Structure 1
């Protein structure tokens, strides 16, 4: 019982989360303001792009930002709506309506909480680097394509493939598309040039301000965000029938899987590039799950840890959770004090922000490194990206992991080999009747048959000594193949001696039958000299009998 309580306590906030605040609060305050400025246009853009509206994106950034900061497992993680989540939510909104987002958000949040309680947080470590980068590249392509309709002033068709939607929007765009495209160009130019003037200039917010002023002063005929509330909506429980819940369980599981993967990847990256302490993967899942539940109750959408905003937070000097809380407080101030000004932002400007953001998600240098590394890594990267764009995000990760596992197993299988060695000197008569074979690497299901067939091919000998001290890994399939090999050699009249099997592998070998297949238990040796001496005496007795 005490262990259960201790585990539960480890998943909850504690005083240690804020012990450094008295000496770091100034840096945290500055970082929170900075990341809040960066997060504002992204929250609005992701809300619009998801189909839920700018209000949903802003509410999610505020509510989820607070809850994840308090309950999450990372000291510097910043949470809110993200591009990857928008890619998944768009088809859900198109199929089930905006009202389904509340149900999906709550359900997905509950699933993520359960994953944290079940200690599934470390599973993200099983996702290889090329899969992560291919997944990110695919998301970036989808986000970019999703912005094309708004960039040319055409209403997007809900639920359509991002590529087909982009092509359709371009085909149906007329001369009026030049106006929103000009705003997109202005945003892209400002976001590209601003950091070059000074690294601390928030390019996205400056670009939004410039594009909005241009649209207002020139009275351009472009769609804008529209009216926003000047306060947070009251929380309310989602209303859904049993039939609706059944229909949304599948999408909620997809959202939950994506939220868990993206949040843990972001937290892991944050921990690697900062010295603010390690992250607790399971607590992070619990915190992100609670954040999605809370966001759904306030009319928002599922949230995840945001890699880009977390990186800005770290670069701005954040040390504790206070920075993420300040970021949410700044956005809350925008809702209460500047909703009128925000409502005039052109949708094309938000599209420009997301297009530039998408273009920066995977640096060209990273792509070049992956493609030049080796063929298997490049293949995993390209395949994951293609499946992400053309099929589904979760399938892309699963397929990427499976393909990566295949290449890893193939590489591990190649490390396993059989080498015939000379017997220790001095040589004696009859040594040619003894084969000393050293097995190397991993004797597992991927290599067992190939390796042991080489042993079985040994001919013209009376004794085979299997030197197994260099076997790094032995699984049940390898042990079973070894059992069959020993039995086959013994039936051919060849005596098999096993030398140096590791203690950690001996129990499995005994249970599967390797030891029992030997002619006698005395044919198991720890010392090579003793095994060779026994083999020589066996050959000598055979020569006398002949």
Structure 2
């Protein structure tokens, strides 16, 4: 367990390194503040929960996690998946479901399941991201139009209803000002980075929009009162009924937290100057502990945040101390500036999230996926559509199924059986020897086709001996090995001798277990070299032609074909 725990080597307290971490942490904290508020609001839990999560989970995930650069807190994806839970079970369920999800993620880390994320294909990840971005954008439409947002319904339906209501009602002050505030934030967030990359565009945009709304006494909805301190940790009410009702939601939240956190950590490692490493199992342990602590303090489930992590790396972070500083910056806001923060218009936060949603979608990445292969494009599109139409966990599950289907089809098509000419100088009777080379994988997706092709070719071409060349098989599963056993049995029952050449050591045990090698007529029919297998096959043909090696088939002898007369009664002729 020692490698899953924090240690002294996680930090570098030399003045130069510590100074770089302080600057990076301050930068990320300024960027994260409006996002924490916005994601808290969009999840239905409230802005205070967003701030608490950014502080508590941000510190614990930074200290206990497996990445040097990961910044954790509330995220758009978590807000999307948490909103239906709040709608269905109420605000009181958030603390318990957060604790349960944290325990599940913690257990996954202790069980060393961190590498599982590497099995998620790129098109699924990108389709998932596109779907989340679309949901985040659609969630902000009611607030940008000055209307009450409803949680728990499909976001596409909610956005369409909000636009229809806005179009069918007269334009009042609240609607006009909400659109104006959201528009100002969007424009500033798009323009300010062009003036100077170091400007915290989201924070500046929110501050200016708030000042505008305050100066004009605009009739727009505000965040409202916020606590000026962290709440004391409390254990939520735990009952058997509540645990049962929330288990499915907790599992979905835990899956999302694990996937998003590990993907973010992997991105951070690739962005770090000179490259970096991260421990996926320790990262899950850290994220699990972070969510557990967040639930105790009244927060929401936390994950690694790709956007804030990227800002952290680009700002020059050296160690995990930068993520700790980011959380302390937000903690200072809670104790010193909750009054001004409570006056921020909700429409301003909606504008921040709309721009954030667009930035989650890389046009180049989408183009690359769509132009890669047809199967990857279909996987990407299906995942994105299901994310918007159903829910996030179903989207990942269905995306994986679609990707697996296309992958299996590609592997099956690459698994081939070819009849090859016999090596060396031609001998009389070589036409009665069939050498089949199996390439690729002998697995359930290709086994039946290979069985049919070999059997039909052997019977059609009047073959006496079949040599199966297996040295080029890269993979054999239980179905493939069992099918090889059926192939040997089928051919031997038809009077065709089967020789096997080149069983690889990693396949030998499986074939012996399912009985593929026991079906051979003689244990000497298993060869290591092609030359010895072909020589033995030719000797079988010679003895069969001479009538000294004629197998029994259904009680009748198989004899050579005679050109000068009919086949003798009761015999099969070659």
Aligned residue number for residue 3 of structure 1: none
Relative to the length of structure 1, the TM-score reads 0.97
Q: Distance in 1 between matches of 2:4 and 2:229?
A: 32
Q: Distance in 2 between matches of 1:65 and 1:39?
A: 11
Aligned residue number for residue 219 of structure 2: 221
Q: CA contact under 8 A between 1:276 and 1:319: conserved in structure 2? A: no
Q: Of 512, 520, 523, which aligns to 1:521?
A: 523
**1:95 maps to 2:88:** yes
Structure 1 residue matching 2:344: 3-state secondary structure = coil
Structure 1 residues 88 and 21, CA gap change in structure 2 (3 angstroms): farther
Structure 1 residue matching 2:313: 3-state secondary structure = helix
Structure 2 residue matching 1:451: 3-state secondary structure = helix
Q: Distance in 1 between matches of 2:425 and 2:160?
A: 79
Structure 1 residue matching 2:383: 3-state secondary structure = helix
Q: Distance in 1 between matches of 2:282 and 2:481?
A: 39
Deviation, structure 1 residue 362: 1.5
**1:125 maps to 2:118:** yes
Deviation, structure 1 residue 90: 0.8
Q: Of 156, 166, 172, which aligns to 2:149?
A: 156
Q: Distance in 2 between matches of 1:518 and 1:350?
A: 73
Deviation, structure 1 residue 172: 2.2
**1:460 maps to 2:462:** yes
Q: Distance in 1 between matches of 2:97 and 2:14?
A: 35
Aligned residue number for residue 544 of structure 1: 546
Q: CA contact under 8 A between 2:12 and 2:18: conserved in structure 1? A: no
Q: CA contact under 8 A between 1:21 and 1:322: conserved in structure 2? A: no
Deviation, structure 1 residue 19: 4.1
Deviation, structure 1 residue 276: 5.7
Structure 1 residues 21 and 137, CA gap change in structure 2 (3 angstroms): farther
Aligned residue number for residue 167 of structure 1: 160
Q: Of 496, 499, 503, which aligns to 1:497?
A: 499
Q: Distance in 2 between matches of 1:18 and 1:397?
A: 36
Aligned residue number for residue 564 of structure 2: none
Q: Distance in 2 between matches of 1:112 and 1:222?
A: 40
Matches within 5 A, 1:407-422: 407-422=406-421
Aligned residue number for residue 316 of structure 1: 315
Q: CA contact under 8 A between 1:234 and 1:298: conserved in structure 2? A: yes
Aligned residue number for residue 185 of structure 2: 187
Deviation, structure 1 residue 428: 1.4
Relative to the length of structure 2, the TM-score reads 0.92
Cα deviation per residue 1:346-404 (whole Å; 9 max; x = unaligned)?
A: 10000000011011111111111111111100100010011111111101101111110
Q: Alpha carbon RMSD of aligned pairs, Å?
A: 1.2
Matches within 5 A, 1:392-541: 392-458=391-457, 459-541=461-543
Q: Distance in 1 between matches of 2:326 and 2:25?
A: 4
Aligned residue number for residue 72 of structure 1: 65
Q: Distance in 2 between matches of 1:93 and 1:535?
A: 73
Q: Distance in 2 between matches of 1:23 and 1:209?
A: 32
Deviation, structure 1 residue 21: 5.3
Structure 1 residues 37 and 199, CA gap change in structure 2 (3 angstroms): same
Q: CA contact under 8 A between 2:270 and 2:276: conserved in structure 1? A: no
**1:236 maps to 2:238:** no
Larger radius of gyration: 2
Q: CA contact under 8 A between 1:124 and 1:261: conserved in structure 2? A: yes
Q: Distance in 2 between matches of 1:525 and 1:30?
A: 68
